[in-house]
C-alpha cells in the first residue's frame, strides 16, 4: 500500500523550478509597468493605472491577458535599453455583466503610452480575435501618440488599427474610452468607433496640440478649451458621453453595453419588465392641451413612455434640438430619435441631422428598433445653415431612415411641417407604424405661414390692422382644422392611427412585439457605421 505523504504546512512555499522562477520574475516585472515612480506620477494626476482601469471595467476575476511579455523590436535612439515588457499596452479578454468583451488599456507609465509597432500589433491581435469571436471591443486610451523613435513603423501601426476599426464597423460594437491625452493620428481610431467616452478634466483629444496651433495660426488656446471633454461634448460632437470620474465612466460603459447586442447576428438582451405595458402617461395628456408655440423638454415624454421611466441619453450636450438614446419598452430595447422643442423649437439643423443619422445607422446595424418622436417645425432657416450644407447634411438623415430595415415606429406629438415631416421617419419613407396624438398638426407648413401665401389678396383687402388680425386668426384656424389635422392625414393612410395619450405606451409596445421578427439578425446587408 502506498505511503500517504506528510501534509505540508499552510505557510510552506513549493520549491520552484528555475524555469518557473524565471516566469514569475518576468511576470512581476511586466505587472509593475513603468515602475513605482511613474505609477506615483500617474496617481498624482488623479488617474488610475492601466490595470486598475481594467479591474474597474470588467467583472471581478474574469480578465485573461494576452501578450504580457511582448517587447518592442526597435533599437534606434536608445530604444534597445528602454524596452519594456508589454510595450505600454495591456490586452486581453474579460466579461462585463457576464458577457465576453475584448479590451486593451494603454499604460502611460510605460514610454508615455506611446504607440510603436509591437504596441499596435498587440491591439490589432485583440481586435482580430474579438471580430472572430463576435464580441464587443473596448479601448482604454491614455497615450502620448506615435512613438517618434520608431518612425514610420509607428504610423503603420496606426494604419493597422484603423483598418480593423473599419472592418469591424457594423459587425461588433466598438467603444473608445479617452482617459488622458489622445493626439495626432491617435484620435482617428476613436472617431471610427461607435461611441466615445471622456472624463472631465482628464481627457483630451486633438489632431494638433495648443503649441502647434499657436505656431501655425498665432491662436493661444488651453488643452481643455481645444480638446477637452466640454469642447467635444458640446461643440464638435466627437464625444458621446462625459463622466465626472474614471469609475463613473466605467459604470456608464457597463450601462451602455446592457442596451446593445454582442454583434450584428444577435438582438439586445430582453429583461424582465415590472412596469405594466398599459401604464398611464399623465404628462402626455397635458401635452395635448399645451400651446403649440410653448417649448417643453422631450425627455419628459420619453421618461413617460419608457419602462420604469429610464432613458440612457447619448450625446446629451450636442445638437440639443434632437435627442437620441436607449430605453426599454415592455422589456425590449429600443433606440429613440426625438425632436426637442426646448432647443431651437426642435427644428432640424446641420448638427442635428448628422447626430440622428449616425445613431440610426448604428441601430440598424445592430438590430435595435427605432422609435421616432416628432415635434418639428421644419429645417432651421438661415444663410449659415444653407452655406454650411443643410441640403447635404439633411440628406444623410433621409438616407439613414430610408435605408434602415429594423422595425420603425413614429409618433407625431405636435408639429410636423414640410420636408422635416418627411425626414422624421414618415410613412412613405418606410416607417412601419405611424401614430399621432390628437394634438398633432401635419402640413406642408404652419397655418400662419400658409395663409399668408394662400390668402394674401384677402388679407390685403382688410380695411384695417385689427380686421386683418382677426381674419388671420380665423383663416389659420380653418386651415389647421382642414389641412393640418391628423384626421386628414389618417384619411390618406399616411398615419395608421390617431391615438389617445393614455394608450400611446401600449400601442408602441404592441407594435414592437408585432414587428419583432421583421428582420432576421445577421441577414441584413452590412454597410458599416461610417462617421457622419
Extract the runs of DSSP E, i.e. beta strands, from 387-504. 408-417, 433-436, 441-443, 497-498
CA dihedral (510, 514, 519, 521) in degrees, to 10, reads 60
Q: Which of 519, 521, 526, 520 is nearest to 171 (CA)?
A: 526
Cell of residue 321, nine digits? 434640438
- 335 among known catalytic residues: no
Q: How many CB atoms lie under 10 A from the CB of residue 194?
A: 25
- Does residue 282 contact residue 303 with C-beta atoms inside 8 Å? no
* Dihedral sign of CA atoms 494, 499, 505, 510 in order: negative
Mutual orientation of helices 504-514 and 298-305 as an angle, nearest 10°? 60
Longest CA span, the chain: 123
3-state secondary structure of 256: helix
Region for 137 from its dihedrals, namely left if φ exceeds 0, alpha if ψ lies in -120 to 50, beta otherwise: beta
The continuous run of DSSP H or E covering 243 comes out as strand 241-243
- 185 among known catalytic residues: yes
- Active-site hit among 34, 144, 157, 184: 184
- Active-site hit among 420, 436, 484, 490: 420
- Active-site hit among 151, 388, 419, 449: 419
- 78 among known catalytic residues: no
- Does residue 109 contact residue 34 with C-beta atoms inside 8 Å? yes
- 419 among known catalytic residues: yes
**Through-space distance between the first and last CA atoms of the chain, rounded to whole angstroms:** 76
Cα separation, 160 vs 123, in Å, equals 9
Which residues have a catalytic role annotated? 184-185, 419-420
Amino acid at each position: 500500500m502506498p505511503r500517504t505523504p506528510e501534509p505540508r504546512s499552510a505557510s510552506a512555499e513549493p520549491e520552484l523550478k528555475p524555469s518557473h522562477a524565471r516566469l514569475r520574475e518576468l511576470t512581476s516585472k511586466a505587472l509593475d509597468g513603468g515602475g513605482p515612480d511613474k505609477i506615483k506620477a500617474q496617481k498624482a494626476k488623479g488617474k488610475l493605472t492601466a490595470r486598475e482601469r481594467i479591474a474597474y471595467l470588467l467583472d471581478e476575476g474574469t480578465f485573461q491577458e494576452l501578450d504580457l511579455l511582448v517587447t518592442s523590436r526597435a533599437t534606434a535612439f536608445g530604444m534597445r535599453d528602454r524596452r519594456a515588457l508589454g510595450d505600454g499596452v495591456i490586452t486581453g479578454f474579460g466579461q462585463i455583466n457576464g458577457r465576453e468583451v475584448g479590451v486593451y488599456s494603454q499604460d502611460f507609465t510605460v514610454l508615455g503610452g506611446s504607440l510603436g509597432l509591437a504596441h499596435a500589433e498587440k491591439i490589432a491581435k485583440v481586435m482580430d480575435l474579438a471580430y472572430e469571436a463576435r464580441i464587443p471591443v473596448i479601448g482604454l486610451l491614455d497615450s502620448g501618440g506615435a512613438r517618434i523613435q520608431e518612425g514610420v513603423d509607428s504610423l503603420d501601426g496606426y494604419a493597422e488599427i484603423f483598418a480593423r476599426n473599419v472592418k469591424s464597423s457594423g459587425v461588433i460594437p466598438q467603444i473608445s474610452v479617452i482617459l488622458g491625452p489622445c493626439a495626432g493620428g491617435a484620435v482617428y481610431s476613436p472617431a471610427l468607433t461607435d461611441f466615445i467616452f471622456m472624463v472631465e478634466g482628464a481627457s483630451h483629444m486633438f489632431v494638433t496640440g495648443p503649441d502647434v496651433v499657436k505656431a501655425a495660426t498665432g491662436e493661444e488656446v488651453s488643452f481643455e478649451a481645444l480638446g477637452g471633454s466640454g469642447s467635444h461634448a458640446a461643440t464638435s460632437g466627437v464625444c458621446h458621453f462625459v463622466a465626472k470620474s474614471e469609475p463613473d465612466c466605467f459604470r456608464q460603459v457597463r450601462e451602455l453595453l446592457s442596451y446593445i447586442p454582442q454583434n450584428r447576428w444577435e438582438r439586445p438582451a430582453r429583461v424582465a419588465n415590472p412596469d405594466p405595458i398599459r401604464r398611464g402617461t399623465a404628462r402626455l395628456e397635458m401635452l395635448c392641451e399645451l400651446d403649440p408655440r410653448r417649448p417643453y423638454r422631450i425627455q419628459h415624454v420619453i421618461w413617460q413612455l419608457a419602462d420604469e421611466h429610464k432613458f440612457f441619453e447619448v450625446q446629451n450636450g450636442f445638437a440639443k434640438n434632437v435627442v437620441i438614446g436607449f430605453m426599454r419598452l415592455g422589456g425590449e430595447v429600443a433606440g429613440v430619435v426625438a425632436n426637442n422643442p426646448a432647443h431651437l423649437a426642435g427644428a432640424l439643423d446641420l448638427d442635428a441631422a448628422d447626430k440622428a443619422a449616425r445613431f440610426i445607422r448604428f441601430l440598424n446595424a445592430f438590430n435595435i428598433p427605432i422609435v421616432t418622436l416628432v415635434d418639428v417645425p421644419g429645417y432651421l432657416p438661415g444663410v449659415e445653415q444653407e452655406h454650411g450644407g443643410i441640403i447635404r447634411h439633411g440628406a444623410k438623415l433621409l438616407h439613414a431612415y430610408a435605408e434602415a430595415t429594423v422595425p420603425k415606429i413614429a409618433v407625431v406629438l405636435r408639429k410636423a411641417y414640410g420636408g422635416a415631416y418627411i425626414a422624421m421617419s414618415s410613412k412613405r419613407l418606410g416607417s412601419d407604424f405611424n401614430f399621432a396624438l390628437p394634438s398633432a398638426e401635419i402640413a406642408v407648413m404652419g397655418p400662419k405661414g400658409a395663409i399668408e401665401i394662400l390668402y394674401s389678396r384677402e388679407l390685403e383687402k382688410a380695411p384695417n390692422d385689427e380686421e386683418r388680425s382677426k381674419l388671420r386668426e380665423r383663416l389659420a384656424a380653418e386651415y389647421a382644422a382642414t389641412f393640418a389635422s391628423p384626421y386628414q392625414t389618417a384619411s390618406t393612410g399616411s398615419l395608421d392611427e390617431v391615438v389617445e395619450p393614455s394608450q400611446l405606451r401600449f400601442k408602441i409596445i404592441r407594435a414592437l412585439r408585432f414587428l419583432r421578427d421583421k428582420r432576421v439578425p445577421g441577414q441584413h446587408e452590412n454597410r458599416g457605421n461610417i462617421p457622419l
